[in-house]
Amino acid sequence: MQTISLLMFNRNENEGIIRNIRLLKDAVDEIVIIDSSDPEKYKELKNSFKLFNNINIKLFRVLPLGHVEPLFHYGINKTSSEYVLRLDADEEPSKKLVKRIKERKLLYDVYDIPVEDKKKLIGYKLMVLFSKKSVKEISGIIHSGIKFKEKPKNFPKDEFIINHEKPTRDRITKNYVEIESYERPMEVYLNYLKKKDKWFIGNLLSFIYNLPKPVNIYLTAVGISYARTIFDIIQHNDRPFNDIFYTICYIVKNPISQINYSIHTMKFFSNLPKEEQKLRIKIAKEIQEYGGVIKYLGLDRDYIVENLTRTFKWDMSGTEAFRKLLLYRHFHKKPAYRFPYYIR
């Protein structure tokens, strides 16, 4: 019989974690929580486990890094089942999805799962249920992070995840855009597109990007958003062909939030001092050469993650902690073993 681990990453969202434990405790073989919460929230979560007797819950304490992707390798490594079901604290499985998980009717190695917001289908969460043997590469790059050996299959639309996330502009501008500026600033991202099978798109977007400001920011943001959406649809199996109406709606509606996000990231980077831009481009190129941020920072070795956590004082944001690790790695030419407080 197939075995399944529920894997959740948490940062001060205990209510969602506890809700998902209640919903899935009888449907999975184990529950693994990678927790980066503030000390009080961590204690609160740990104490809440007293409510769940005889449930196989594993809690691991890790330092915050501003985004969960750099901890994917560590989290997956802590699971012991054949399959991994990855949910965020702000995501809730529908009753039919819980039933599917409990019955173990899994015919494939990788699955996308529909996501609903306010009872409307808003898209698919990519690679949310997968077998560990299907994992090809774990890069840890924001909004990406895992590559698989095969294309995923889609769950039926009535077996979905309910999205409770309430994104704010403050979260976008102060967290993710800072991370993007180190992991894939636009110059590095466009060069990547040119080298890969999206050569034409990469050259076209590079031409637009070099137009006078602010024209370049808005047009490049639109181009990147639509290109990502179309590539996403084509890559993930039968969506573009079996449901033409849905595909058209998805292409038209989905990029709007992506466009806003791309505009924020590009504006943020363009407003940095020139020397700082050059530094972040150098770091991004190094990350790319290593195949991602996980190997670059040594986070594919559990003992490094655990020692960084032991030496972290919980006195700064995850984004700032991530920045310090990147700078240490760049200037010292090796991953930090202890948390590097004394770096610029």
Highest mean pLDDT among 199-208, 248-257, 295-304: 295-304
Is 142 in the same domain as 249? Answer: no
pLDDT tens-place string over residues 306-324: 999 999 999 999 999 999 9
pLDDT tens-place string over residues 215-247: 788 788 777 777 766 666 555 544 444 455 555
Residue 35 falls within a domain, yes or no? Answer: yes
How many other CB atoms are found less than 10 A from the CB of residue 168? 8
Split at pLDDT 50, 70, 90, the class of 168 is: low
Is 198 in the same domain as 237? Answer: yes
Burial grade of 125 (CB within 10 A; 0-12, 13-18, 19 or more): buried
In the numeric block, which tokens belong to residue 15?
A: 């209510």
| Cα 86 from Cα 304, distance rounded (Å) | 23
Is 141 in the same domain as 30? Answer: yes
Indicate if the pLDDT at residue 267 is higher than 90.
no
- Best CA proximity match to 310, nearest among 61, 143, 19: 61
| 83, 130 Cβ separation under 8 angstroms | yes
Residue 199 falls within a domain, yes or no? Answer: yes
Please give the mean pLDDT across all residues of the chain: 85
Mean pLDDT for 174-198 is 79
Task: Please tell me the total count of domains within the chain.
Answer: 2
Q: Spell out the SS3 assignment of 90-138.
A: CEEECHHHHHHHHHCCCCCCEEEEEEEECCEEEEEEEEEEEEHHHEEEE
Mean pLDDT for 126-154 is 87
Is 156 in the same domain as 176? Answer: no
Is 202 in the same domain as 103? Answer: no
| Cα 109 from Cα 135, distance rounded (Å) | 9
Is 77 in the same domain as 199? Answer: no
> At which of 107, 128, 163 does a domain end?
163
Highest mean pLDDT among 48-62, 199-213, 304-318: 304-318
User: For residues 145 and 50, which has the higher predicted lDDT (pLDDT)?
Assistant: 50
Torsion, CA 257, CA 259, CA 260, CA 262, rounded to 10:
120
pLDDT at position 31 is 97
Indicate if the pLDDT at residue 250 is higher than 80.
no
Residue 320 falls within a domain, yes or no? Answer: no
Indicate if the pLDDT at residue 154 is higher than 90.
no
In the numeric block, which tokens belong to residue 180?
A: 């993007």
| 14, 51 Cβ separation under 8 angstroms | no
pLDDT at position 1 is 80
Helix (H, G, I), strand (E, B) or coil at 338: coil
Residue 303 falls within a domain, yes or no? Answer: no
> At which of 271, 288, 321 does a domain end?
271
User: For residues 328 and 264, which has the higher predicted lDDT (pLDDT)?
Assistant: 328
Distances (CA, A) of 33 to 43, 99, 113, 314: 14, 22, 21, 18
pLDDT tens-place string over residues 206-218: 877 777 777 788 7
- pTM, to two decimals: 0.87
Is 156 in the same domain as 175? Answer: no
| Cα 88 from Cα 7, distance rounded (Å) | 9
pLDDT at position 251 is 53
| Cα 264 from Cα 130, distance rounded (Å) | 32
| Cα 94 from Cα 159, distance rounded (Å) | 6
Residue 291 falls within a domain, yes or no? Answer: no
> At which of 271, 289, 308 does a domain end?
271
| Cα 81 from Cα 184, distance rounded (Å) | 33
Domain that holds residue 90: 4-163
User: For residues 118 and 30, which has the higher predicted lDDT (pLDDT)?
Assistant: 30
Residue 259 falls within a domain, yes or no? Answer: yes
Is 243 in the same domain as 152? Answer: no
| Cα 41 from Cα 14, distance rounded (Å) | 7
Is 211 in the same domain as 100? Answer: no
Domain of residue 37, CATH code:
3.90.550.10
pLDDT at position 70 is 96
Is 58 in the same domain as 90? Answer: yes
Strand spans (E) along the chain: 4-10, 30-35, 57-61, 83-88, 91-93, 110-117, 120-131, 135-138, 146-148, 153-154, 161-163
Is 101 in the same domain as 228? Answer: no
Is 22 in the same domain as 125? Answer: yes
